[in-house]
Chains A and B, each alone.
Chain A
Amino acid sequence: GAGVSQSPSNKVTEKGKDVELRCDPISGHTALYWYRQRLGQGLEFLIYFQGNSAPDKSGLPSDRFSAERTGESVSTLTIQRTQQEDSAVYLCASSQNLAGAQYFGAGTRLSVL
């Protein structure tokens, strides 16, 4: 596609529910990243995928967070048993190669009530 696409753009859920966020990277981009942006704060790295290599999950805040990627295409970020502190904007980015600039989607705004 022309850019990184994320869905849904907004998600409101109840505490304890599971949510799934989707990211469609730019076609041909081998690297895909997930970041979290809490209100009034900077961005924090969550997880990274590069081709068929094992993902770098070092940024995931707890075992309630997981992500998958199918080949070099779509990725889903799953948050189980959501908590209020999970409320944030979740941003996905892709890059053509490791040294290339990352291009970001518009994000998914998650609100946990």
Chain B
Amino acid sequence: AQSVTQLGSHVSVSEGALVLLRCNYSSSVPPYLFWYVQYPNQGLQLLLKYTSAATLVKGINGFEAEFKKSETSFHLTKPSAHMSDAAEYFCAVSDQASGTYKYIFGTGTRLKVLA
């Protein structure tokens, strides 16, 4: 069965500091992995996706993530945090094994950016 674990339900960083949000996955098949951001009272917006091409994936708003098979990780990073990055971030793996490709989500990490 596929699963996703996000370490740290809350992360605080100073404005201008590195953002690192952790995601580890479990999958019996090569995974498709995604990061989404959710601003208050809004739906989920796709940040980036990994679908077995380049292991370093660049997304919107300066975010990127690196797929590391040996570590079963897909951590999200951004070199310099902006106040506007404050939101909740979800990592998801696509359930290919069932054939539906439904997403299995992590529990989310709420990012707080300090001035």
Contact = CB atoms under 8 A, between A and B. Distances in A.
Contacts, number: 57
B34 A101 contact: yes
Nearest to A91: B43
A99 B42 contact: no
Most buried by A among B34, B42, B94, B101: B101
A93 B49 CA distance: 16
B103 A45 contact: yes
Interface of A is mostly: strand
B43 A104 contact: yes
B43 A107 contact: yes
Contacts of A95: 101
A73 B5 CA distance: 33
B107 interface: yes
A107 B41 CA distance: 9
Given A41-B107, A42-B90, A43-B90, A105 B100 contact: no
A42 B45 CA distance: 15
B43 A45 contact: no
A50 interface: yes
Given A41-B107, A42-B108, A104-B44, A99 B102 contact: no
Interface in A40-93: 41-45, 48, 50, 56, 58-59, 91, 93
Interface of A: 4, 6, 31, 33, 35, 41-45, 48, 50, 56, 58-59, 91, 93, 95, 98-99, 101-107
29 contacts: A6-B43, A33-B103, A35-B105, A41-B107, A42-B105, A43-B90, A43-B103, A44-B105, A45-B104, A48-B100, A56-B98, A56-B100, A56-B102, A58-B98, A59-B102, A91-B43, A93-B103, A98-B100, A98-B101, A99-B101, A102-B46, A102-B103, A103-B46, A104-B36, A104-B43, A104-B44, A105-B43, A106-B41, A107-B43
